[in-house]
């Protein structure tokens, strides 16, 4: 389960993807990209391609599940959905994030 | 945990066959790009613009696809598969190079695998019996004779009294006539003691072993036959256990059939019959009937068994002081006795073929080194694109690995094909019929392939991954001086090893030649040998046996075309055997030395038949058949070596009396002296020999017949004659004497031939290496040669220059080869006759041959260099 060197996984991307799927149910990679951009009011713009290594890695780790399906426009796409393990990981990461931001805020508050 | 393993396995699978995963990723990513392009078009952009912008926002699709793919594979395996595919592609692009290397390796690895499979079958594999490592051969060590056979009563005492053997069996083998058919057919019978099946541990495929009653005197008769005999004589009839075998006048019921691969004691045995151990004639404590085999109890060592049996024998020595005193025991693992001296030859051949493989590897390494030079630019580009030196080296090593594997696979095929030929060539040598290319040979080949890959490929791979320096133009010139010495070194090693192999082969060839020139002391040409079946039971009436044999000799002598006929006793002259005995000279003074000499039992006509000259005294006469219970009176001839060794101090040996110390024959008179003959084997000096003029030492002696004309026709008339005078006996082992003597040296000849083949192959490879290396060196220095010629150097000077260059390598290499040959001379010492391993003649001859061939090999490129047109060369540059 150790994160790999060149991955964005160690950052927040995983948490954002997990949250997106937990809230909105199964989505394909394009939809996930758009959702993150919209939901963050365009503050977060991921290099779109780098999403995919992360998605596949998360699926390997068991946080996501995927299956091929059809979109409304009748195109074949791969849909990802969150697993129970993924939800646990999301809870863990949200907690870590909360602790991190609080800690940083306190330090900045002292400055 | 299990899930982790499954996931890993799935990643391995994807590394091997990445197609599907790659396609899925492709689909997924193109979907994203298509959607983005659609949305951008909906926002008003043109199609081309939309696509461009979509791609720009995405990032580099190929890069992301690869990163995604990396998630699914095991990294090193993936890299390896990629290297493998690239290696195969680039090898297919260079068919000439690939084919040369693969063929060379196939031959070298194939030869290795073939020799190894013989080694495996004969020496390494255990004998084909359950727990075969517990089988031992037990023999007597009797100082007074060289007989190692065990008398029947003693064997039974051993069986009762020992504590270390699970089972013990004695046997002897004889050839008889089976008379249930129209013609008497010769069968080979092994007479066995209780313990027969227990020792070998093999069950019959049909029927049963012998019961206790069958081992008793007067008990029911029974015979077990071999599966081969079942097929041959009875056509595999299913009611075999109701049939009988007819020996003499008795019909003996068949009670069992042994499996086809049960080949003890002898490959040719057809029948096994029990000996009645309580029979009156089986209480003998002196006649060395049996060869004895035992099975150790589990956990007992050979040394322990030897001690135990020695103690038992000592006890028996007290009990029977006349017959059992001072008899030692030898216990040896059975495999050692079965394999014999062939082992040494095999190890020698194995060494030779390994050397051959080394030479092939150095050749290929040199080839790869020079290939590496041509690819410098390609590899440098790869490195500049980000490949590490290790990655490049690994890729080159993979290429070598593919070559080695291809060579290995082809080599195994060659070895499998050759194993049939080897089985035929070594037909009578021990265990040769078990030679196959089996699992162990495959493993050995695999190991060779790995070794070859490393040997050939490691150095060139490391060298070629040299770095970006090569990209700078003209670097090729600068690199020559660092690379050439290495290649010359490799070639020098090849020449040295070839010299060593050639020296070995040369010695064996000369030895064989010497052997064929030796004067045997008798005339083996135009002599037919054969045997007529008889059985040991006939010895009950010895007079009848003598009369029969003498009558046979007379009848043979009167056949048209036959010059002389005789019997030669236990063996045929010229085939290596050994039998010496201690004699006592009746007229000896008290403290004269013991007389040890070889004893032979031959009929009076023997010397005339074999053309052994009588040097003094007169020829012995045929012994008259004995009357009553008196033993027959024999006359003796001795040879010159005997006289020189033991009777030199007497005026004449004629009239002296000799007696066998351990034998039943009373003292006999010496009547004449004959010339020395190498009857014990052509490679042995004739030793002191005593000839007993007895025509029938056994009921089935060897007959020797000297005849004019075609020996095949003579054999026919012999058979017809025997059919007339002895219709119930069969004639067998018919062969010209020269053929039998030749057969005895079959192993010798095979070994010499194989070593010569390997040495020639080695020399050829070395020459190819010389040629290649010099051609390459010259091609690199074309400009220099052109300059020299332009400046007025004479053409023969150029040739001389390169020849000198080569001589600097070949000269020391030959010296090294000679040194290696001398160092390993001990390996050959037991196999040579008439030549010494350090004899200068052979070594100088070999060096001369190598120098001559090497000169030829380099003359072509050197002359080509000398014939260059200087203007052409300079313009090309």
pLDDT tens, residue by residue, B315-351? 998 888 887 888 888 899 988 877 777 777 888 889 8
Q: Rounded distance, CA B116 to CA B446, Å? A: 13
Host domain of residue A36: 13-110
Say if the Cβ atoms of A49 and B60 lie within 8 Å: yes
Say if the Cβ atoms of B31 and A57 lie within 8 Å: no
The alpha carbon torsion through B92, B97, B100, B103 (nearest 10 deg) reads -30
Domain boundaries defined on chain B: 2-73, 144-325, 342-516+746-876, 534-729
Q: Rounded distance, CA B46 to CA B51, Å? A: 8
Convert B760-784 into a string of H (helix), E (strand) and C (coil): HHHHHHHHHHHHHHHHHHHHHCHHH
Q: What pLDDT was estimated at residue B484?
A: 66
Question: Distances in Å between the alpha carbon of B838 and those of A26, B559, B759, B829, B874?
Answer: 87, 52, 18, 10, 52
A4 found inside a domain: no
The set of long-range contacts for B738-741, using a CB threshold of 8 Å and a minimum separation of 24, is B738/B524, B738/B525, B738/B527, B740/B529, B740/B572, B740/B574, B740/B575, B741/B524, B741/B574, B741/B575, B741/B682
HSE-up of B418 (CA within 13 Å, CB side)? 19
A58 found inside a domain: yes
Q: Rounded distance, CA B801 to CA B469, Å? A: 31
| Residue A3 pLDDT level (bands cut at 50, 70, 90) | very low
Over the stretch A35-45, which tens digit does the pLDDT of each residue have?
888 887 777 76
Q: Are strands A76-82 and B223-226 parallel, antiparallel or unpaired?
A: unpaired
Say if the Cβ atoms of B7 and A48 lie within 8 Å: no
Distance from CA of B806 to the nearest CA of A (A): 56
Angle at B689 between CA B685 and CA B691, to 5 degrees: 140
A2 found inside a domain: no
Please check the confidence at residue A79 and state whether its pLDDT lies above 90: yes
A34 found inside a domain: yes
Q: Are strands A76-82 and A27-28 parallel, antiparallel or unpaired?
A: antiparallel
Helices in A1-111 by DSSP H: which ranges? 13-24, 29-39, 51-61, 84-110
The alpha carbon torsion through B789, B795, B797, B803 (nearest 10 deg) reads 110
B interface with A, Cβ–Cβ below 8 Å? 3, 7, 24-25, 27-29, 31-32, 34-36, 57-61, 63-65, 67-68, 70-72
- Rounded to the nearest angstrom, the gap between the alpha carbon of residue B253 and the centroid of all alpha carbons in its chain is 41
Partner residue facing B68 (CB), from A6, A48, A53: A53
Say if the Cβ atoms of A49 and B64 lie within 8 Å: yes
pTM of the model: 0.72
A33: domain CATH number is 1.10.10.10
Convert B661-710 into a string of H (helix), E (strand) and C (coil): CCCCCCCEEEEEEECCCCCCCCCCCCCCEEEEECCCCCCCCEEEEEECCC
The alpha carbon torsion through B510, B516, B517, B522 (nearest 10 deg) reads 160
Q: What pLDDT was estimated at residue A18?
A: 92
Partner residue facing A49 (CB), from B24, B27, B58: B58
Q: Rounded distance, CA B619 to CA B604, Å? A: 7
Bridge partners, residue B252, by sequence: B245
Residue B28: list chain A partners with CB under 8 A. 29, 52, 77-78
Say if the Cβ atoms of A6 and B67 lie within 8 Å: yes
Query: What are φ and ψ of residue B295, in 5° steps?
Result: -115, 125
Say if the Cβ atoms of B32 and A56 lie within 8 Å: no
Residue B25: list chain A partners with CB under 8 A. 52, 56
List chain B residues with pLDDT less than 50.
Answer: 468, 470-482
The total number of residues shown for chain A amounts to 111
Say if the Cβ atoms of A48 and B68 lie within 8 Å: no
Q: Rounded distance, CA B569 to CA B694, Å? A: 8
- For residues A81-105, average pLDDT: 91
Q: What pLDDT was estimated at residue B576?
A: 64
The alpha carbon torsion through B539, B542, B544, B545 (nearest 10 deg) reads 60
Q: What pLDDT was estimated at residue B293?
A: 92
Residues 6+ apart with CB under 8 A from B601: B569, B570, B691, B692, B694, B697, B701
Say if the Cβ atoms of B59 and A49 lie within 8 Å: yes
Helices in B47-94 by DSSP H: which ranges? 47-58, 61-71, 75-93
HSE-up of A103 (CA within 13 Å, CB side)? 6
A49 found inside a domain: yes
Question: Domain tally for chain A?
Answer: 1
Q: What pLDDT was estimated at residue A8?
A: 41
Q: Are strands B135-142 and B291-296 parallel, antiparallel or unpaired?
A: antiparallel
Say if the Cβ atoms of B32 and A29 lie within 8 Å: yes
Choosing among A4, A46, A48, which should be mutated to test the B contact, i.e. which has the most B CBs within 10 A?
A48
Contact status, residue B265 vs residue B279, Cβ threshold 8 Å: no
């Amino acid at each position: 389960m150790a994160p790999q060197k060149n991955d964005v996984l160690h950052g927040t991307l995983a948490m954002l993807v997990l949250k997106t799927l937990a809230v909105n149910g199964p989505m394909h990679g394009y939809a996930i990209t758009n959702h993150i951009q919209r939901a963050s009011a365009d503050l977060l713009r991921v290099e779109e391609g780098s999403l995919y290594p992360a998605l596949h890695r998360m699926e390997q780790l068991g946080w996501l599940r995927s299956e091929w399906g059809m979109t409304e426009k009748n195109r074949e796409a791969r849909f990802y959905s969150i697993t129970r393990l993924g939800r646990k990981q999301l809870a863990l990461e949200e907690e870590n994030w909360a602790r991190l931001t609080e800690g940083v805020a306190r330090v900045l508050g002292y400055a | 945990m299990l899930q982790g393993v499954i996931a890993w396995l799935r990643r391995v699978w994807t590394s091997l066959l990445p197609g599907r995963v790659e396609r899925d990723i492709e689909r997924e990513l193109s979907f994203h790009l298509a959607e983005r392009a659609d949305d951008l078009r909906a926002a008003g952009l043109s199609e081309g613009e939309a696509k461009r912008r979509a791609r720009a926002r995405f990032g580099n699709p190929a890069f992301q696809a690869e990163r995604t793919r990396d998630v699914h594979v095991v990294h090193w395996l993936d890299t390896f598969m990629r290297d493998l595919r690239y290696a195969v592609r680039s090898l297919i692009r260079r068919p000439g190079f690939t084919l040369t290397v693969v063929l060379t390796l196939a031959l070298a690895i194939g030869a290795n695998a073939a020799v190894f499979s013989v080694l495996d079958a004969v020496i390494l594999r255990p004998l084909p019996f359950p727990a075969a490592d517990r089988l031992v051969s037990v023999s007597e060590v009797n100082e007074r004779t060289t007989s190692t056979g065990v008398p029947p009563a003693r064997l039974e005492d051993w069986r009762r009294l020992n504590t270390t053997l699970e089972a013990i069996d004695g046997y002897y083998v004889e050839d008889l006539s089976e008379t249930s058919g129209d013609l008497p057919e010769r069968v080979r019978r092994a007479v066995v003691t209780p313990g027969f099946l227990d020792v070998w541990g093999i069950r019959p495929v049909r029927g049963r072993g012998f019961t206790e009653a069958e081992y008793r005197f007067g008990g029911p008769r029974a015979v077990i036959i071999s599966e081969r005999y079942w097929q041959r004589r009875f056509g595999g009839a299913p009611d075999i256990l109701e049939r009988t075998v007819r020996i003499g006048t008795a019909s003996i019921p068949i009670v069992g059939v042994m499996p086809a691969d049960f080949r003890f004691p002898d490959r040719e045995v057809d029948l096994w019959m029990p000996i009645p151990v309580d029979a009156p004639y089986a209480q003998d404590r002196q006649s060395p009937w049996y060869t004895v085999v035992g099975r150790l109890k589990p956990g007992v060592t050979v040394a322990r068994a030897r001690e135990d049996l020695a103690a038992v024998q000592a006890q028996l020595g007290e009990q029977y002081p006349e017959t059992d005193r001072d008899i030692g025991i030898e216990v040896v693992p059975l495999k050692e006795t079965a394999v014999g001296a062939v082992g040494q030859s095999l190890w020698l051949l194995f060494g030779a073929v390994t050397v051959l493989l080394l030479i092939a590897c150095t050749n290929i390494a040199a080839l790869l080194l020079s290939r590496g030079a041509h690819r410098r630019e390609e590899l440098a580009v790869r490195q500049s694109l980000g490949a590490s030196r290790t990655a490049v080296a690994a890729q080159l090593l993979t290429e070598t690995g593919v070559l080695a594997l291809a060579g290995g696979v082809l080599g195994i095929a060659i070895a499998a094909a050759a194993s049939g030929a080897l089985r035929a060539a070594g037909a009578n040598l021990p265990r040769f019929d078990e030679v196959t290319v089996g699992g162990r040979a495959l493993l050995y080949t695999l190991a060779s392939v790995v070794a070859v890959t490393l040997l050939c490929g490691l150095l060139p791979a490391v060298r070629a991954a040299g770095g970006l320096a090569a990209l700078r133009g003209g670097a090729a010139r600068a690199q020559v001086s660092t690379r050439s010495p290495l290649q010359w070194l490799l070639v020098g090693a090849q020449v040295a090893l070839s010299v060593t192999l050639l020296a070995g082969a040369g010695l064996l060839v000369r030895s064989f030649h010497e052997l064929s020139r030796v004067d045997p002391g008798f005339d083996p040409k135009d002599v037919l040998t054969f045997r007529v079946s008889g059985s040991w039971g006939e010895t009950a009436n010895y007079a009848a046996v003598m009369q029969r044999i003498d009558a046979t000799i007379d009848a043979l002598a009167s056949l048209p075309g036959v010059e002389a006929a005789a019997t030669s006793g236990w063996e045929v002259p010229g085939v290596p055997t050994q039998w010496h005995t201690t004699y006592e000279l009746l007229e000896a003074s008290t403290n004269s030395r013991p007389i040890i000499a070889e004893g032979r039992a031959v009929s009076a006509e023997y010397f005339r038949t074999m053309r052994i000259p009588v040097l003094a005294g007169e020829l012995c006469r045929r012994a008259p058949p004995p009357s009553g219970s008196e033993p027959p009176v024999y006359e003796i001839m001795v040879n010159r070596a005997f006289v020189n060794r033991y009777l030199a101090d007497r005026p004449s040996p004629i009239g002296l009396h000799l007696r066998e110390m351990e034998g039943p024959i009373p003292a006999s008179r010496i009547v004449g002296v004959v010339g020395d003959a190498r009857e014990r084997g052509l490679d042995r000096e004739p030793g002191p020999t005593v000839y007993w003029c007895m025509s029938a030492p056994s009921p089935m002696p060897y007959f020797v017949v000297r005849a004019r004309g075609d020996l095949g026709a003579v054999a026919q008339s012999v058979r017809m004659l025997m059919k007339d005078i002895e219709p119930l006996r069969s004639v067998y082992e018919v062969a010209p004497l020269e053929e039998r003597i030749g057969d005895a040296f079959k192993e010798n000849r095979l070994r010499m031939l194989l070593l010569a083949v390997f040495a020639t192959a080695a020399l050829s490879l070395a020459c190819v290496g010389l040629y290649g290396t010099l051609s390459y060196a010259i091609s690199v220095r074309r400009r220099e040669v052109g300059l020299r010629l332009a400046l007025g150097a004479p053409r023969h000077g150029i040739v001389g220059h390169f020849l000198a260059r080569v001589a600097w390598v070949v000269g020391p290499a030959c010296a090294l080869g000679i040194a290696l040959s001398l160092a390993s001379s001990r390996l050959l010492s037991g196999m040579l006759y008439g030549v010494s391993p350090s004899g200068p003649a052979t070594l100088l001859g070999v060096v001369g041959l190598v120098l001559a061939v090497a000169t030829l090999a380099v003359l072509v490129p050197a002359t080509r260099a000398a014939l260059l047109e200087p203007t052409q060369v300079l313009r090309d540059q």
